[in-house]
Structure 1
Amino acid sequence: MSTTLSSRPQMAPLTPHAHGLFPLQSQYAKDIINRATMNKCKPYTTPVDLSAKLSATNGPLFSDPTLYRSLAGALQYLTFTRADLSHAVQQICLFMHELRDVHFAFLKRIIRSLQGTIHYGIRLVKSPSHSPVAYSDADWGGCPDSRRSTSGYCVFLGDNLISWSSKRQPTVSRSSAEAEHRGVANAVAEATWIRNLLIELHTPLRQTSIL
């Protein structure tokens, strides 16, 4: 990883905003774009082409795996304030062992979206509600190689997004219902962990978690 991206930068301070706080990593995102030499690339508004299915075997091998891994690692750190990139970054990190040109094209699509959303971040607001709400979703057999599913969740505390994940499931699901149930189980585990953490911080939640 280059000296620009090798050490994890400090998170940008919580910037006062008209409606709360707004942590973001815009300078770090610019560093990633510079590292990829894509300063003048055409910006995209979305990080992924939903019709694309990445495979471990399609296309020729990529010639510079060090560059790919450097950029993928940097993007992974960026997801600390960019939940919208989590699924796309998770996809490119699945192929570190045998990189192909199509994987790098997918990664470049993410960087093009950074160019168009450089000032995106997470907004934290004073919320009248402290009700925990979790959302979960999953595909079914989305990986063309292993036929494993990908599930994701996000957890809100009141109006604030506080936790999110997108991850390939460890085993093959026999139906879409099974894939969804695995995703729900992950969301429930995360919501339970957050409740226990808040108990340790002496701020227990009195409302039931909603999934």
Structure 2
Amino acid sequence: MSKLSSEFSMKDLDPLNYFLGIAVNSTSTGLFLSQQRYASEILEKVGMSQCKSVCTPVATFGKLYANTGSPCDDPTLYRSLAGALQYLTFTRPDISYVVQQVCLDMHDSRV
């Protein structure tokens, strides 16, 4: 720290506990990273904080088609949510497939 501070203007902000949506907990075996708070904030943003979870949130046998349904009222919200979900896959790789399916239609989102 002293060598870095001699070269750069910096200050010590104590141990890391939450940064860029990732909570960091230090244990004797290493670091535990979690985005539970970040995921809760996403759900609150779209008014889904009371929804129940499911094991497989997408039908693996069906396909979505680009020209079905009506355009989203607010495509900016859809794109923002898709980006937030992409960031969430850093600590939740189990939702990568579903998030990828959501991102396929970001250019022309429909409901």
Q: TM-score, normalised by structure 1?
A: 0.40
Tell me which of 23, 35, 40 is aligned to 1:12. Answer: 23
Q: How does 1:55-74 map to 2 (within 5 A)?
A: 55-74=65-84
What's the % identity of the aligned pairs? 51
Alignment match of 2:34 (pick from 24, 28, 34)? 24
How far apart, CA to CA, are the structure 1 residues paired with 2:26 and 2:62?
A: 37
Task: Give secondary structure in 1 for the equivalent of 2:34.
Answer: coil
Q: Which runs of 4+ in 1 moved over 6 A?
A: none
User: Could you say if the C-alpha distance between residues 60 and 83 of structure 1 is closer, same or farther in structure 2, counting changes exceeding 3 Å?
Assistant: same
For 1:87-142, what per-residue CA distance to the aligned partner results, in whole angstroms no more than 9, with x for missing partners?
111111111111110xxxxxxxxxxxxxxxxxxxxxxxxxxxxxxxxxxxxxxxxx
Where does structure 2 lack aligned partners over 5 or more consecutive residues? Answer: 1-18
Q: Does 1:91 align with 2:101?
A: yes
Instruction: Give the counterpart of 2:60 among 50, 54, 62.
Output: 50
Aligned length: 93
Structure 2 length-normalised TM: 0.72
For 2:87, the equivalent position in structure 1 comes to: 77
The CA distance in 1 between the partners of 2:84 and 2:26, in whole Å, is: 22
Structure 1 portions without partners, runs of 5+:
1-7, 102-211
- 1:47-100 CA distances to partner (integer Å, 9 max, x unpaired)? 322123122112222211111111111000001111001111111111111111
- How large is the Cα RMSD of the aligned pairs? 2.1
CA distance in structure 2 between the aligned counterparts of 1:11 and 1:39, rounded to whole angstroms: 19
- Which residue of structure 2 aligns with residue 35 of structure 1? 45
